[in-house]
C-alpha cells in the first residue's frame, strides 16, 4: 500500500475496517436475539404454549451462538435464557 500523507498507519486503518465489520455483525446478532425473545414473550402473553416452546428453542439456540461468539457474556446469556424459560414454564 502507498504511504499515506495523513500520517495514519495502514495497520490502524485496517483495524478500523475490521471493527466496522465486527460491529455490524454483532448488532445484527443482538437484534435477532431481541426479536426472538419478543416472539417468546408474545406467545406467552397470548397463552399459546406450542408457539412459546418452539420460539423458546429458537431463542435458546441464538443465545448460545451469541455466547459462543463472545457477542454477549456467558452469564448474561444464562440469565436471559432462565428468564424466558421461567415465563414459558409459568403458563
CATH assignment at residue 52: 1.20.58.110
Residue 79 lies in a domain: yes
pLDDT in tens, 1-59: 556 666 678 888 889 899 999 999 999 999 999 999 999 999 999 999 999 999 999 99
Cell of 7: 500520517
Could you list the residue range(s) of the whole structural domain that residue 70 is in? 10-89
Predicted TM-score (pTM) of the model is 0.80
Instruction: Give the residue ranges of DSSP H helices in 1-91.
Output: 10-45, 49-68, 74-89
Residue 3 lies in a domain: no
Number of structural domains (the chain) is 1
Q: Tell the residue number behind the cell numbers 452469564, with chain if given.
A: 75
Q: How far apart are CA 59 and CA 70, in angstroms?
A: 16
Residue 1 lies in a domain: no
Amino acid at each position: 500500500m502507498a504511504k499515506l500523507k495523513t500520517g495514519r498507519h495502514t495497520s490502524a486503518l485496517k483495524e478500523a475496517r475490521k471493527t466496522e465489520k465486527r460491529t455490524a455483525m454483532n448488532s445484527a446478532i443482538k437484534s435477532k436475539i431481541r426479536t426472538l425473545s419478543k416472539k417468546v414473550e408474545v406467545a406467552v402473553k397470548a397463552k399459546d404454549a406450542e408457539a412459546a416452546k418452539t420460539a423458546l428453542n429458537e431463542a435458546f439456540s441464538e443465545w448460545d451462538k451469541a455466547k459462543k461468539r463472545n457477542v454477549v457474556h456467558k452469564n448474561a446469556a444464562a440469565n436471559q435464557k432462565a428468564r424466558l424459560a421461567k415465563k414459558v414454564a409459568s403458563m
